[in-house]
Chains A and B, each alone.
Chain A
Amino acid sequence: MHRSVRDTVRTIVPVLGLIIVFVLFSLTTGGKFLTLNNMKNMLMQSSITMVAAVGTTFVMAHNNLDFSLGGVCALCCVVAYLIAGTNIALFFLICIAMGILCGLFSSFLHIWGQIPAFMAGLCLMFAGRGIAQSTASRRSMVLTNAARFNTFWFFMIVLVAVVVAGFIVFNFTKIGKAQKLIGTNPKATQLSGINVNRYKVIAFAISGATVGIASCLTVARGASVVGNTGLNLETNVLLALSIGGIAVTGGSATRMRSAIIGTLIFYMLNNGLTLWGLNADYVDIVKAVFFLVTVSISIDRSQYDTIA
């Protein structure tokens, strides 16, 4: 296929997938899909993943992967609980601060420790999960007053704020543009006078901040901190970004919309299959096939061009 046609298809498919899924479930669920409550549910369910995906896009734009999300989410919550207890305002602040610290630590391991970023992320994930599990095994961390933030409007305000801020920073500031430049060609970027390491650190800090915010939403939803808080967050985020057609190798092809479209498709499919009442044995198979088809068409294969 001609490269420009392929690029066009790759760009359109995720959006088309979103519209198809939306229309399909709208027409086949007897109106259940289009109810206000269901729309609210879907947006709330997708909020945590979408918020984290916005930050992860910055890291992926400079051609790195962050596998630390779930572990960092658990770590943020545990540390925030140990310091702030049930003081929710302070809890949320510490979560975000802790997320940024974890992002900085990850970048420190990657840049100054010369460790691949995905490996640094994995280390943080295991450490965070281990600390959360050992702390949860010693004490109960129930935050029933966090449940009052489990409201549609709170989630929407946070989501819109993060997405809009992420979109502006990614597309209209030097920070976002530098990420794409680094992803395209780090050496050329360095030679052009841009401090590559500095912008990588900023990307990890942004990713950490969004994980911190996602931790706040997670606690609002779960009303407690347990050993498996934030479980599978990294998987959900990376899957959502892939469905959204993100360029895995980063660079100028990276788009913030991948985070939004991918996450919406991910949760819409989950919701719609439940509304269908599809046999539970087949739900995961249907999801897998859909994801495979979407990703096969939309993923950027430029890095595989040289493979025979």
Chain B
Amino acid sequence: MKKHKYVSKIIALMMVMVLAMFTLVACGSSSESSEAEIEAEKETAEEVVEEETEVEEAEAQEEEPQEQEEEVVEASGDGITIGMIWYGNVDPMGTTFYSWANEAADALGVDLIWQLGSFTTEEEVTDCENLISAGCDGIYFVPMAEVANLQLGNLCEEAGVYWATSNRDIVDTDIYESVMENPYFVCRIHDETYEVCKEMVRELAENGVTKVCILSGDPSDPLMADRNSGFSDGCEEYGIEILATTQGSYGDSNTDLNNIANFCTLYPDMDGLLLASSNGGAGAAAYQALETSGREKGSIKMAVFDNFDGSQDAFDDGWLVASCGGYTTECLVSFLALVNRVEGNIASDSVMEMTLSPLMISSPEDMEVFSAYVDNPDIYLYSDELIQSLVGPDVTEGDYQAVLDEWSLDFVKEAAGLD
């Protein structure tokens, strides 16, 4: 009993020491100065943005901006560190961008700190706070919800850190207007999903499909909402009847497999299948469900977003007639634009807004090229020279958009040396 009390006293003492350390650190004078420093840095950065813009507009082109750029680079320290909030190395796109960004960072002499596996705004906020504490000069992320732009944008603005996004559009006008006024927002890139979805439905219609079931995306995600709308509008436009729709279960391939098996059983007249995303094992699950459905090979035509393991076999067997993917380029361009801004270069006097058309694959031959060279973490389609050329004082928004516009299977073939 006495021993127990003794232990309790030790624990209480330890707790008091820890709390006292927290309190001392939190209330210490150095912290006040650090806040003041952050405020001063923020003001300096804002002044630099304003001044540089004015200088550009006034066509007093060379001298002053260079001086101010140097100021920014000096303020960020010897090396540049970029915080990367990324959903993870869980699929071909995830691993490919992870690999491409590391390669690009090496080419540019930039340090990266990755935060992997965040799927909610709260988690992304936590990641962003930690990355800012780690001294990152810029933050790149894919907003998991529209409001993540606002929350993470505010954190970055408070800390005086530049930020950029990719892969997600902003539909909410209040959020859009608010984030576009953020002086630290460098660029946002999203893909033209809606039109591509309609193209995929047209491909199904041209292959004789008249009745489809849909494994849809999470409608609260703007990107998935676009895909869902593209599918349903496409079906209406091309006279395809939608028999049933079930929301895909991202990451739970068994549930997806069961859902598609149910489609096959419940709708014997189903001759088409649309998947808003084949990521997280959904594509492979769909392929397996069709293979074990007892239907004749190719009797159900499938059109899917994103590449999946087994796409080539699915094409060869006739189950897959249209696939869409290849968004890694927009992640890379957004990342490069961010690095460029952190280095003190101004490619545009406002937030850069750009779009990318993902690749549409509609033949086994194209699929072969896609599988081998796109979303492959071991293949770098952009050379170090090209990456270095996209960071510098003379780079403009047009240069970034040109890279996005050039994105096609022909570009992939050329970059891979196939032509």
Determine whether the beta carbon of B129 is less than 8 Å from that of A137: no
A136 to B221, CA, bound (A): 9
Q: Does B293 contact A (CB under 8 A)?
A: no
A226 to B123, CA, bound (A): 13
Known: A36-B26, A223-B147, A277-B111. A15 touches B15 (CB 8 A): yes
Determine whether the beta carbon of A36 is less than 8 Å from that of B145: no
Known: A142-B147, A221-B125, A224-B147. A231 touches B219 (CB 8 A): no
B219 CB contacts on chain A under 8 angstroms: 136-138
Determine whether the beta carbon of A137 is less than 8 Å from that of B151: no
A44 CB contacts on chain B under 8 angstroms: 129
Q: Does A195 contact B (CB under 8 A)?
A: no
Known: A15-B14, A133-B218, A275-B133. A228 touches B119 (CB 8 A): yes
Known: A15-B15, A35-B34. A277 touches B120 (CB 8 A): no
State which residues 64-82 of A face B: CB under 8 Å.
none
Known: A12-B10, A22-B18, A144-B175. A37 touches B121 (CB 8 A): no
A222 partner, pick from B35, B121, B130, beta carbons under 8 A = B121
For the complex formed, measure the closest distance between the CB of B17 and the CB atoms of chain A, giving whole angstroms: 7
Determine whether the beta carbon of A274 is less than 8 Å from that of B17: no
Known: A4-B3, A19-B14, A224-B147. A36 touches B34 (CB 8 A): yes
**CB-defined interface of B87-130 with A at 8 Å, one 1/0 digit per residue?**
00100000000000000000000010111110111110111011
Known: A32-B133, A222-B122. A142 touches B146 (CB 8 A): yes
Determine whether the beta carbon of A140 is less than 8 Å from that of B172: yes
Whose C-beta in chain A lies nearest to the C-beta of B28? A36
Determine whether the beta carbon of A140 is less than 8 Å from that of B35: no
**CB-defined interface of B1-28 with A at 8 Å, one 1/0 digit per residue?**
0010001001100110110011001101
Q: Does B131 contact A (CB under 8 A)?
A: yes
For the complex formed, measure the closest distance between the CB of A219 and the CB atoms of chain B, giving whole angstroms: 9
Q: Does A150 contact B (CB under 8 A)?
A: yes
B232 CB contacts on chain A under 8 angstroms: none
15 A–B contacts from the bound complex (CB under 8 Å):
A15-B18, A32-B135, A35-B133, A44-B129, A137-B218, A140-B172, A144-B178, A147-B151, A218-B122, A222-B121, A222-B145, A223-B121, A231-B120, A271-B130, A277-B134
**CB-defined interface of B167-206 with A at 8 Å, one 1/0 digit per residue?**
0000010110010000000000000000000000000000
DSSP class of B's interface residues: helix, strand, loop or mixed? helix
For the complex formed, measure the closest distance between the CB of B29 and the CB atoms of chain A, giving whole angstroms: 10
Determine whether the beta carbon of B10 is less than 8 Å from that of A39: no
State which residues 204-233 of B face A: CB under 8 Å.
218-220
**CB-defined interface of B28-48 with A at 8 Å, one 1/0 digit per residue?**
101110110010000000000
Q: Does B154 contact A (CB under 8 A)?
A: yes
B130 partner, pick from A18, A41, A281, beta carbons under 8 A = A41
Q: Does A197 contact B (CB under 8 A)?
A: no
Determine whether the beta carbon of B34 is less than 8 Å from that of A19: no
A280 to B102, CA, bound (A): 12
Determine whether the beta carbon of B121 is less than 8 Å from that of A15: no
A37-B159, A222-B151, A280-B115 provided; 16 other pairs, C-beta below 8 A? A36-B25, A36-B32, A36-B35, A37-B38, A40-B26, A133-B247, A140-B220, A147-B150, A150-B125, A223-B121, A224-B145, A224-B146, A224-B147, A270-B126, A274-B113, A275-B133
Report the 3 A-B pairs with minimum CB-CB distance, sorted nearest first: A36-B31, A280-B114, A136-B220
For the complex formed, measure the closest distance between the CB of B170 and the CB atoms of chain A, giving whole angstroms: 11
Known: A32-B133, A222-B151, A223-B121. A8 touches B14 (CB 8 A): no
For the complex formed, measure the closest distance between the CB of B256 and the CB atoms of chain A, giving whole angstroms: 15
B121 partner, pick from A39, A45, A226, beta carbons under 8 A = A226
Q: How large is the interface on B (under 10, 10 to 19, 20 to 34, 35 or more residues)?
A: 35 or more
Determine whether the beta carbon of A137 is less than 8 Å from that of B220: yes
Q: Does A189 contact B (CB under 8 A)?
A: no
A199 to B11, CA, bound (A): 29
For the complex formed, measure the closest distance between the CB of A142 and the CB atoms of chain B, giving whole angstroms: 6
Determine whether the beta carbon of A144 is less than 8 Å from that of B147: yes
Determine whether the beta carbon of B18 is less than 8 Å from that of A38: no
A8 to B134, CA, bound (A): 36
Determine whether the beta carbon of B121 is less than 8 Å from that of A137: no
Determine whether the beta carbon of B18 is less than 8 Å from that of A41: no
A275 partner, pick from B7, B18, B38, B134, beta carbons under 8 A = B134
Q: Does A11 contact B (CB under 8 A)?
A: yes
For the complex formed, measure the closest distance between the CB of B199 and the CB atoms of chain A, giving whole angstroms: 25
Determine whether the beta carbon of B120 is less than 8 Å from that of A228: yes
Whose C-beta in chain A lies nearest to the C-beta of B131? A274
A270 to B7, CA, bound (A): 29
A270 CB contacts on chain B under 8 angstroms: 126, 130
Whose C-beta in chain A lies nearest to the C-beta of B151? A223
State which residues 373-403 of B face A: CB under 8 Å.
none
For the complex formed, measure the closest distance between the CB of B258 and the CB atoms of chain A, giving whole angstroms: 16
